[in-house]
Amino acid sequence: MVLTGAEIVIRCLQEEKVEYVFGYPGGAVLYIYDALFQQEQVRHVLVRHEQAAVHAADGFARSTEKVGVALVTSGPGATNAVTGIATAFCDSIPMVIISGQVPTAAIGQDAFQEVDTVGITRPCVKHNFLVKDVRDIAATIKKAFYLAKTGRPGPVLVDIPKDITIAKCDFEYPKEISMRSYSPVVKGHQGQIKKAVQLLLEAKRPMIYTGGGVVLANAAEQLTKLTRLLGFPVTNTLMGLGGYPASDRQYLGMPGMHGTYEANMAMHYSDVLLAVGARFDDRVIGNPANFAEEPRKIIHIDIDPSSISKRVKVDVPIVGDLKDVLDEMIRQLEAAPTRPDASNLAAWWKQVEDWRSRKCMEYKNSDEIIKPQFVVQKLWEVTGGDAIVTSDVGQHQMWASQYYRFDKPRRWLNSGGLGTMGVGLPYAMGAQFAHPDMPVACVTGEASIQMCIQELSTCKQFRLPIKICNLNNRYLGMVRQWQQLFHGGRYSESYMDSLPDFAKLASAYGHVGIRVDKPADVEGALREAFTTHKNDLVFLDFQVDPTENVYPMVQGGKGLTEMILSAEDL
């Protein structure tokens, strides 16, 4: 069958069972949009800015096991997409981004809307392609999807010049793809797994430290079984929330900069640390030299060999798919004649409970002014802890991660690696398209929400019933917090003046807007949003305490044991 390049692009997406493409048209992709128009299998979501297209595709992927797809034009379309691509890259999200390019003959001629998209995106994609022959489109898109979702997932960009979308050739979609230079290790080394199990059985002060890899690998069930089999304490990083049930007693909360006292102390003083799909990043272990002060054995399981021994020395590296490796560890543990020493484990849990008794997450609530933590706690209660929650970046992100207890994976979507403000609403859009019958809430702040607020228009067009919880403190809250604590209280450019009336702004877009000023009205407003206005987008503008800070806190460059637990520690 002879098709144009544009038609081949769409046929490839159909072959990959793509349901939604998030995008924005332009000159270089007009033929692709024309081919898109002439079919019904792949639905297009017209966003209002290319950055939001990529974030929405990213949110779709995070909340499912599927590859997110975005479509943008050349030049500014591609450059607007770069922040979204980098965000997905930092969090290992499987995505395919198709970008238009100027005609082949015009490349390098400073043509209208020309940029070197492949060159610009090279540092922030898993791989990228420039297609120069229409006969290569099908194989290239097949490779792009394969690369995006195998091994350590990531975004893959396919750049297609306009003349290639007009050219014709026979279409045949490859059934399989083979890439000699790309063969990710899936099966963990049996000898290393055996060593790891032996270390776990001999541990006196064990700790299980898990990251976003557990969620990406759909290994939450295996992790939960292994943790309960061993009876060890466990922690999920910001990216790994939901990988182990937060309401379970063995869960110690999040580790790191804004982690709990008990999680950080148990991480630091453990004698055997099992790291699963985590990368020991600076926000989790703080200063590596401080972390290395305590002798411990480290077992590290990861699909990406480059992540192992990158920041800390690892004793037992295991490269492989987390589900397969954890299944094998469970099998070996169940077959083992011994169990971890009960008296040692009891003494360790006694120490952990002593740390937990500090109740580091308690805060002083108020009848006069809304505390942001209180809003998140009420959101958890009203939704039964079963909503998909997205966030932007800043204080509200940390409060959402601390006070909304995630018991299931793929319910918490945030930008953990790049820390991109503006992702919350597009993430919620992607998640709502993927799960039309589930409650989706976006916890944001008055600064972050304005970075992609134009997407309220997209939400109206597609009738997306997202609930936006704006923790409005009139500050760039996390910047203000650092300026207060470490810059002598000099609040340089961190106050948000001239803010819009968000409730009226939401109404102007055709949504429901509610301003909440009193603590007593918080729960009622949330219940109204999720019941009376179940099928509407509701923008809840909570006027929260502008002086509230996120605790606990480990200052940048400090060790896990150097936590600031509250304002009294300052």
d(CA 199, CA 113): 58
Amino acid at site 173:
Y
DSSP-H helix ranges across 76-116? 76-90
For residue 36, the surrounding DSSP H or E stretch is: helix 30-37
d(CA 209, CA 233): 9
Give me the catalytic one of 265, 329, 398, 478.
478
Amino acid at site 36:
L
Give me the catalytic one of 7, 16, 50, 328.
50
**Catalytic residue flag (residue 162):** yes
Q: Which of 300, 258, 277 is nearest to 396 (CA)?
A: 258
**Catalytic residue flag (residue 478):** yes
Hey, how many other C-beta atoms are within 10 angstroms of the C-beta on 28?
Answer: 28
Using DSSP bridges, classify how beta strands 467-472 and 20-23 pair: parallel, antiparallel or unpaired.
Answer: unpaired
Give me the catalytic one of 126, 142, 149, 162.
162
Helices 5-15 & 30-37, crossing angle to 10 degrees?
Answer: 50
Helices 76-90 & 50-62, crossing angle to 10 degrees?
Answer: 30
d(CA 353, CA 473): 34
Bridge partners (DSSP) listed for residue 471: 445, 542
In the chain, what's the furthest Cα-to-Cα distance?
Answer: 74
d(CA 402, CA 351): 22
Q: How far is CA 118 from its chain centroid?
A: 24
Give me the catalytic one of 37, 39, 109, 112.
112
**Catalytic residue flag (residue 204):** no
User: What residue has token string 């700790």?
Assistant: 207
Contact 165, 32 (CB under 8 A): yes
d(CA 392, CA 272): 34
Q: The tokens of 142 are what?
A: 């097949």
d(CA 234, CA 237): 10
**Catalytic residue flag (residue 112):** yes
Give me the catalytic one of 15, 113, 194, 558.
113
Helix (H, G, I), strand (E, B) or coil at 449: helix
Helix (H, G, I), strand (E, B) or coil at 467: strand
Contact 85, 125 (CB under 8 A): yes
**Active site residues per annotation:** 50, 112-113, 162, 478
